[in-house]
Amino acid sequence: MSNPISHAFKKAKSENRPALLTYTVAGDSTKKQSLEILKSISKKVDILEIGVPHNTPVADGSQIQTSSYRAIKNGVKINDIFKIVKDFKKFDKNKPVILMGYYNMIFQYGENEFLRKCKISGVNGLIVVDLPWPENKKFASKCKNRSIFFIQLLSPTTTKNRLKKIIKDSHEMIYFISMLSTTGGKLKVSSKEILSNYDKIKKVNSKKNVVIGFGITEKTIKSLKKADGLVVGSAICREITNSIKKRQNPVTNVYNVVNRLKKKIK
């Protein structure tokens, strides 16, 4: 399966560093500014994760909820998100884009039509938080047939037996949730413990690219740099919120945060 996500990991490994993944909410704080942020950080980021704003998020902490609220308040719909992705791909067609959201939006849209729009707009991967394995096997297969990665989630409480089965069925990228919590602005467990769980996953299949997310900040990212990839979301959403409060430009400030993150994992 040829997918830009695979190329992004290969490039990062050739530079002896983890891939940097950022998470921003589509349409935050406006559709135009959301696109500008993606463009501004594109050169510093290996993979862009774009959140679909949802009014009842089960995995998102307060910072991402605030971003989602702004986007929803501005009237962002799923077709607007596809347009943001499509417009971004006109700017940087090779940069991998992952959409993260919830299954009801896919169900309401229709699985096949949703995937058709993903393909047209340039989406390379999907994280569907509330569609766990094995219930996601049929949909994941549909994704694979369209060369779109369906990214399985693992957590610290995933049993050994279940972990092996999920990894066996997974595409090339796996998302390890660092702690038993929603997303947030800080780690609630030690980096040592997170990496211990990460190693257990890699021992099952070292060829899968495993990214760690939830709670990673500028202060902690360096301690986790042995991972294949690291996801930073809440810290970026918080920067957007702070920029708005201070009447500063979120595009510039988010770029500065991402630039500092990248320097810490080089």
Rounded Cα distance between 196 and 178, Å, is: 11
pLDDT at 55: 76
Q: Which of 49, 80, 135, 193 is catalytic?
A: 49
pLDDT at 184: 63
- Is residue 117 within 8 Å of 88, Cβ to Cβ? no
243 C-beta neighbours (distance < 10 Å), count: 17
Q: Which of 36, 46, 60, 239 is catalytic?
A: 60
pLDDT mean by block of 10 residues, the chain; 266 residues: 89 98 95 97 98 79 86 94 98 97 95 98 97 97 97 95 97 90 70 95 97 92 96 94 96 97 96
Crossing angle between the packed helical segments 31-41 and 250-265, to the nearest 10 degrees = 30
Is 60 catalytic? The answer is: yes
Distances in whole angstroms, Cα of residue 256 to Cα of each of 240, 251, 261: 12, 9, 9
The alpha carbon torsion through 1, 123, 249, 235 (nearest 10 deg) reads -60
Angle at 198 between CA 104 and CA 166, to 5 degrees: 45
| 8-state DSSP, 48 | E
